[in-house]
Amino acid sequence: MDKFASRKAQAPVLVCGKDGMPLANQEVRMTLKNHQFLFGCGAFESVALMKIQDEEKKAFFADRMEKWLNLFNFGTLPFYWGRYEPVQGQTEEEVTLKAAKWLKEKGVTVKGHPLCWHTACANWLMKYDNKTIMDLQIKRIHRDVAAFKGVIDMWDVINEVVIMPVFDKYDNAITPLCKEKGRIQLVKEVFDAAKETNPGATLLINDFNTSQSYEILIEGLLHAGVPISVIGIQSHQHQGYWGLEKLQAVLERFSHFGLPIHFTENTLISGDLMPAHIEDLNDWQVPEWPSTPEGEERQAREAAEMYTELFAHPLVEGITTWDPADGAWLGAPSGLMRKDSSLKPIYHKLHSLIHGEWKTDVTLKTDDNGYVMLDGYKGLYEAAADGRKAEFTLSDGAEKRIILVE
C-alpha cells in the first residue's frame, strides 16, 4: 500500500492545442510546480527585506529568502501586537502587506500569526479596563483581517490558550481578560470576529500544550460553535526529538476531531540539547549555542523521519519549520541555514524529499483522443510539449482540460 496515497490523485487530462482541438499521440511532460501540501517556514525575514535600505544587508536577506523560496511554499508572517502596533494607531501594515504580496506573487501561501496572544502583547493596552481591551482586540482583528484579505487568508487567531489565564511570567492585558471571560468565551469572540471579517479564511487555534488539556479545550470550543478550520500543534523540540512514538500519540489524540492538522512551529536542534529540567523554554539563556557537525546530521535524520510521518498522515495539511536560520528564537541552532546562511544537511535532506522523492515529473503520451491519465502528487502542474505550456491543478479525480500555448 502506498503510504502517501492521500497526497496523490489520478485524473484524466485532455490535452488540447491553442485551437482547442485535442492533441492525439503527443508526448507531454507533466511537472509538479507547487505541492498542495503546505511545506512552510517562518518568513519574518521577508518583512526585514522590505524594510532594509543598506545594500549589503539587503543582499544578505535577499540571498536567504531565495534559498527559502527554493524549498518552501508556505510562509508565516508576524502580527505580534506589541511589535506590529508598538504605539497605538501606528502599525506595521504597509511593510507587512508589501512582504505578504511579494510572497504571494512567488506562489507562497501566507499565514498571519497571531491575532490574539498574551505574550508580545501591546503594553499600551495596560492602561485600559477589560471591556475596553476586549473592544480594542475585536477592532484589531477586524482591521487586520480586512486589510490583508485576499493576500493573507489564513490566521493563527489565538495562541496558547491553555496557559493563557494562568500565565504569570509578567503582566499583560490579555491574561486578565481571559481569566475574566474564560477560555471558551474569549476564543469564541475572537474567532467570530475573524470569521465575520473574512468568511472564507482558514482559521487556526494554536498551542504548544499537546496534553489532554488542549484536547478538552478543543472539544469545548467545537461544542460552543467556534469556527475552527485547523488544529495547530507546536513542536519546539529544543530538549530533544519527540520520536515516532510520541509523534504518533499526538496525532492520534488530535485526529479524532476529524479536522485538518498543522504542525505550526517545528524546531529541531543541531547542537547540544536544552537540559530536560527546564520547564519554560524561554528560561534557557546561554551566551552561545553553536551548531555541531554531529548535531547537524542528527537534525537532518530527525527531520526526515518526522516529515515523512506527517506527510503520510491524511489529516496533516501543513508543517512549518519555525526558524529558517540558526540564532533566531532563543539563539538556538534550529535553522536550515547557519548564521552565515550556508545550507545545513537538514536543508538538503528536506529538499531531496519535497522536490525529489515527493515530486511528480513524468512524460506521458496522449491517446488517439488526446487524453493522458495522470497519477501524481496533488498540486499545481505545468504541462509542456514542443515549447507550448499550460498550468492546471491536480486535486481530485475529476477530468482536466488544458490548452497548450506558446
Which helix (H) or strand (E) segment holds residue 390: the answer is strand 388-394
The answer to whether 309 and 302 are in contact (CB under 8 A) is: no
Give the N- to C-terminal CA distance of the chain in Å, as an integer.
40
- How far is the C-alpha of 111 from the C-alpha of 288, rounded, in Å? 31
Backbone angles phi, psi at 230, to 5 degrees: -145, 140
Q: Which residues of the chain have pLDDT under 50?
A: none
Residue 86: DSSP 8-state: S
Q: Are strands 154-159 and 316-321 parallel, antiparallel or unpaired?
A: unpaired
* Cell numbers standing for residue 179: 481569566
Burial bucket for residue 353 (CB in 10 Å: 0-12, 13-18, 19+): middle
Beta bridge partners of 109: 74
The answer to whether 333 and 271 are in contact (CB under 8 A) is: yes
Return residue ranges of the chain for CATH 3.20.20.80.
37-357
The whole-number pLDDT of residue 234 equals 98
The answer to whether 271 and 240 are in contact (CB under 8 A) is: no
- How far is the C-alpha of 204 from the C-alpha of 230, rounded, in Å? 5
Backbone angles phi, psi at 400, to 5 degrees: -110, 140
The whole-number pLDDT of residue 1 equals 82
The whole-number pLDDT of residue 334 equals 97
Sheet (strand 388-394) strand order = 361-365, 27-35, 379-385, 388-394
Is domain 37-357 classified as CATH 3.20.20.80? Answer: yes
CATH code of the region 5-33+360-403? 2.60.40.1120
The whole-number pLDDT of residue 227 equals 98
Mean pLDDT for the chain? 97
Encode pLDDT of 87-100 as tens digits. Answer: 999 999 999 999 99
Return residue ranges of the chain for CATH 2.60.40.1120.
5-33+360-403
Identify which of 209, 211, 220, 156 has the alpha carbon closest to the alpha carbon of residue 183.
220
Handedness of CA 137, 141, 147, 151 (dihedral sign): positive
